[in-house]
Amino acid sequence: MDHFERRGGVLHAEDVPIPRIAEAVGTPFYVYASATLRRHAQVFRAGVGEDALVAFSVKALSNVAVLKVLASEGLGADIVSGGELARARSAGIPGERIVFSGVGKTRAEMTAALEARIYQFNVESEAELRTLSEVASARGSVAPVALRVNPDVDAGTLDKISTGRKDDKFGVPWERAPALYDLARRLPGIEARGVDLHIGSQIASLAPFEAAARRAGDLIEHLRAEGHDIDRLDLGGGLGIPYGDGVTPPDPAAYAAALRRVTDALDVRLVFEPGRMIAGNAGLMIAGVIYTKAQEARSFAILDAGMNDLIRPALYGARHAIVPVAERDGDPSPFDVVGPVCETTDLFARDVPLTAPAPGDILAFKTAGAYGAVQASQYNTRPLIPEVLVDGDRFAVVRRRPSTEDMLALEELPDWTDRPAD
Ligand SMILES: Cc1ncc(COP(=O)(O)O)c(C=O)c1O
Ligand SMILES: N[C@@H](CCCC[NH3+])C(=O)O
């Protein structure tokens, strides 16, 4: 369920008509509904139980105002960089609700996370484990660790976003896990408390989650028999959401119930890292039509948003439903919806039914809250587009559009660039 509805034919974000935001902010922009964010946080927490740690995967949508909304609903943060740690901290998320994932944590990032007393490092290799041991023991602290094990489960998701097969770069191989827990026990500054896994994203069925959790349960029993005190199981994120493409993933309550059932007898604290499920349909990307043109057999609607603003279609072949913000009478005809970027793949979707689109019309890209704004770039020297947060009948720009001067400000001009070569 989301909070983007039509009233009198005009799309609203909660109680705010989207054209009103467009007038104030200018297109393109992202808009998020705090009511949807809150609802998803509540539904997820209720499903997995109050005692579980629900660490929102900050990479999905990392705006600090959004993180504050989620933090106020009791969510923690799953981070993958020092930058995301800083975001989580400025949103007021306490260290005890932060888990740190990712294959390439640096010493500086480890130090910052130890200073913040985070709940858990999800360690992804022996080299990382040894480095963390050095960093933690040098400052006289102990790092709580879960080893990310690769359960070699094919989650049946898009090839480019699968993470839990043995050829993917993530985690440590299943067979190596017991030896690494033994190593962890011997290393100073390390306390191996948990098992962690994450098998991919936009997963549309329960079976791979259940299979992976079962394997994790077997491993925990094996490790306990070897004398390891394992009291946490981090099941990662990955639950899919409907993108209007006919795929209907399980709802969060069914997902939570299935995973609780599989892990019930283990007596561990569960950790979850949902990203897309919390943020995906809490956001739209809003874009304006600049031109339309007809060419051979095809008609194009050329927008002011491009692949640099929402890269999922170009990167993964992902689909986002595209709808007009204000309905118009008449019969629709098919348009290829494209951006202004000089790349052939700057194509959002083919054959979108639109009724007489004209310059100045506004379109909405649905389900764009997760992996939208966060994956944007300034390619073609296009400014990052603003992010707007709605709450009931009010809205605020929670990230402004940079000026051209802002964009150029990081560049330096050495004094030898403007002399011709001898
Ligand atoms: C380690 C980890 N945890 C959590 C997530 C969040 O995944 P999703 O947005 O599919 O829930 C990701 C991204 O796939 C991830 O890499
Ligand atoms: N960024 C991807 C998914 C990868 C998730 C990060 N591990 C998407 O847009 O669907």
Ligand number with the minimum distance to the CA of 278: 1
Task: For residue 114, report the distance from its CA to the centre of ligand 1, in Å.
Answer: 22
Token pair listed for 156 = 């049946």
421 inside domain: no
Residues 308 and 224 in one domain: no
- Listed residues 243, 278, 313: the one ending a domain: 278
Domain C-terminal end among 228, 252, 278: 278
CA distance 149 to 310: 31
End position of a domain, from candidates 278, 309, 341: 278
CATH at residue 339: 2.40.37.10
342 has catalytic annotation: yes
Query: Range of 356's domain?
Result: 4-31+281-406
Q: How far is CA 327 from CA 54, 132, 302, in A?
A: 39, 56, 19
Summarised one tens digit per residue, pLDDT across range 111-145 is: 999 999 999 999 999 999 999 999 999 999 999 99
Co-location of 388 and 402 in the same domain: yes
pLDDT at 330 over 80: yes
Structure tokens at 318: 């992902």
Task: Verify that 58 and 156 share a domain, yes or no.
Answer: yes
Instruction: Mark whether 93 and 184 lie in a shared domain.
Output: yes
**Distance from C-alpha of 281 to C-alpha of 31, rounded to nearest angstrom:** 11
pLDDT band at residue 153 using 50, 70 and 90 as cut-offs: confident
Is 414 part of a structural domain of the chain?
no
Residue that is written with structure tokens 């104030």 in the block: 24
CATH of the domain at 122: 3.20.20.10
Structure tokens at 414: 């050495």
Q: Under DSSP, is residue 86 helix (H, G, I), strand (E, B) or coil?
A: helix
418, part of any domain: no
pLDDT, tens digit, 9 for 90 and up, residues 25-50: 999 999 999 999 999 999 999 999 99
Question: Which parts are annotated binding residues?
Answer: 238, 273-276, 312, 316, 343, 371
| Ligand 2 center–CA 11 separation, angstroms | 27
If asked whether residues 190 and 315 sit together in one domain, one would say no
Q: Provide the pLDDT for residue 155.
A: 77
Q: Which residues does a 6 A CB cutoff place in the pocket of ligand 2? A: 59, 161, 201-202, 312, 371
Q: How far is the CA of 378 from the centre of ligand 1 (A)?
A: 24
In terms of domains, do 26 and 136 share one?
no
**Are both 248 and 336 inside the same structural domain?**
no
Task: Determine which of 55-64, 77-86, 155-164, 357-366 has the lowest per-residue pLDDT on average.
Answer: 155-164
Task: Band the pLDDT of 169: cuts 50, 70, 90.
Answer: confident
Q: Please check the confidence at residue 162 and state whether its pLDDT lies above 70.
A: no
For residues 287 and 272, membership in a common domain is answered with no
* Binding residue ranges for pyridoxal 5'-phosphate: 238, 273-276, 371
**164 and 294 assigned to the same domain:** no
Residue pLDDT, tens place only, 241-289: 999 888 999 999 999 999 999 999 999 999 999 999 999 999 999 999 9
Query: Could you give the number of structural domains in the chain?
Result: 2
pLDDT at 161: 60
Query: Could you tell me if residue 132 is inside a domain?
Result: yes
Instruction: Kindly state the average pLDDT of the residues 210-229.
Output: 96
Q: Is position 165 within any domain?
A: yes
**Residue of 342, 409, 413, 421 with catalytic role:** 342
In DSSP terms, 4 is beta-bridged to 13
- Any domain includes 230: yes
Pairwise CA distance, residues 305 & 228, whole Å: 52
Residues near ligand 1 (Cβ within 6 A): 57, 60, 78, 101, 198, 201, 236-239, 273-277, 370
Shared domain for 220 and 289, answered yes or no, is no
| The three-state (H, E, C) secondary structure of 299-357, written as one string | EEEEECCCCCCCCHHHHHCCCCCEEECECCCCCCEEEEEECCCCCCCCEEEEEEEECCC
> In the chain, count of helices (H) and strands (E)?
12, 21
Q: What is the structure's pLDDT at 268?
A: 98
Higher pLDDT, 109 or 165: 109
Residue identifier of the C-alpha nearest atom 4 of ligand 2: 161
379 Cα to the center of ligand 2, angstroms: 20
The reply to whether 252 and 366 lie within a common domain is: no
Tell me, yes or no, whether 202 lies in a domain.
yes
**91 shares its domain with 72:** yes
ipTM surpasses cut 0.90 = yes
Q: Regarding beta strands 394-399 and 387-391, do their DSSP bridges make them parallel or antiparallel, or are they unpaired?
A: antiparallel
Closest-CA residue, ligand 1 atom 5, reads 237
In a domain, 415, yes or no: no
User: H helices of 11-102, where?
Assistant: 18-25, 34-48, 64-72, 82-90
Cα 99–chain centre separation: 15
